[in-house]
Amino acid sequence: MQSFSSTLFADADSEYTSARYVIFGVPFDGTTSFKAGCRDAPAAIRQASYNLESYLPHYDMEHYEAPIHDMGDMYVECLPDEMVSQVEDTVSLIKEDGKIPVMLGGEHSVTIGAVKAVKPSWYIVCDAHLDSQDEYRGSRFNHDCVTARNLETVKNVVILGARSGTKEEFSYARETCHLYTADDIRERGIAAVLDEVKGLVGDADIYLSIDADAIDCCFTPGLGTPEPFGMTPLDVRDVIRRFAPQAVGFDYVEVLPNDQGQTAMVAAHMIREFIAANFSKEK
């Protein structure tokens, strides 16, 4: 029998009923305030995933060993609050079925619904921006309001890699969150920062969100709101390796596939890293 290409994430061959990890895309960029187009990211990330070898040497496992199901992309509503409700409903069903949601954005506002559904003890996010506006451009569900909305669901929040926001946002983040800027990470080293975060979090359950712009745009230029002087891809991979084992939900958002494919490729690798790190713990 010949093999054929698929529109689903590579090795996501399990039926829903037998899967532990459920991938789905949310192609939404309705509140994007700079470069639009991250609605195309789920397709680009899936396409990139087919260029990756199935073997992950760090975990000594084949990616297809993990039971993964790809539901495809949601058909999203145009209004951000309605989209958030759709994501919340979808993630709630995945959670009730005892599975771990792996969401492909789309802009970062998609995370609001997932966090509302999961209700984790901790929310850890890698992001260049603080996203702490209560309202922006007429919506409380704008991509610039993600942290503010998630603080309404979970009070324990860690922000890694931030380097852009208003003076008021930085003051607010330091009062309400555990904030580690990109400069903090560069000066202290990612290992020391993650050791400190682990001391805060302990073994509690977490939701892990990776905004692609946490990574310096000089490494991955395919971003809707690019910022230089950021984390490296290796820094973000270290975050995933450290915290994926205790994560009950994950997303990778804000990829804008307008470069030569490097940003989507990094995203595909990071998604596989998350699944492998979590699955290795379960094995």
The predicted-structure confidence for 164-215, as pLDDT tens digits, reads as follows 999 999 999 999 999 999 999 999 999 999 999 999 999 999 999 999 999 9
pTM score, whole prediction:
0.95
Q: Is residue 264 part of a domain?
A: yes
The whole-number pLDDT of residue 1 equals 47
Q: Find, among 185, 106, 178, 101, the residue nearest to 147 by Cα.
A: 178
CATH number at residue 96: 3.40.800.10
Question: 199 and 243 in contact (C-beta within 8 Å)?
Answer: no
The rounded distance, in Å, linking the Cα atoms of 46 and 23 is 10
The predicted-structure confidence for 23-40, as pLDDT tens digits, reads as follows 999 999 988 888 889 999
Q: Is residue 20 part of a domain?
A: no
β partners of residue 26: 105
Q: Is residue 64 part of a domain?
A: yes
The predicted-structure confidence for 95-138, as pLDDT tens digits, reads as follows 999 999 999 999 999 999 999 999 999 999 999 999 888 877 87
What is the DSSP code string of 11-54?
T-BS-GGG-SEEEEEE---TT-SS---GGGHHHHHHHHHTTS-S
- Helix and strand numbers, DSSP H then E, in the chain: 9, 10
Q: Is residue 19 part of a domain?
A: no
Instruction: State the residue range of the domain holding 58.
Output: 27-282
The whole-number pLDDT of residue 30 equals 81
pLDDT band with cut points at 50, 70 and 90 for residue 6: low
The whole-number pLDDT of residue 5 equals 53
Question: 251 and 105 in contact (C-beta within 8 Å)?
Answer: yes
Q: Is residue 21 part of a domain?
A: no
Q: Where are the alpha helices (DSSP H) in 52-103?
A: 80-96
Tokens for 247, please give them: 């994560």
Number of domains into which the chain is organized: 1
**Residues contacting residue 265 through CB under 8 Å, at least 6 positions apart:** 48, 51
Q: Is residue 72 part of a domain?
A: yes
The predicted-structure confidence for 257-281, as pLDDT tens digits, reads as follows 999 999 999 999 999 999 999 999 8
Residue 255 has pLDDT above 80, yes or no: yes
For residue 25, whether the previous peptide bond is cis, meaning omega lies within 30 degrees of 0, is: no
The rounded distance, in Å, linking the Cα atoms of 264 and 35 is 16
Higher pLDDT pick, 71 / 135: 71
Residue matched to tokens 């990330």: 45
- pLDDT over 90, % of the chain: 87
Q: Is residue 2 part of a domain?
A: no
Tokens for 151, please give them: 């603080």
The whole-number pLDDT of residue 131 equals 87
Q: Find, among 248, 250, 252, the residue nearest to 121 by Cα.
A: 248
Q: Is residue 7 part of a domain?
A: no
Q: How far apart are the first and last CA of the chain?
A: 31
**Residues contacting residue 119 through CB under 8 Å, at least 6 positions apart:** 153, 154
Report residue 81: phi and psi, to 5°.
-65, -35
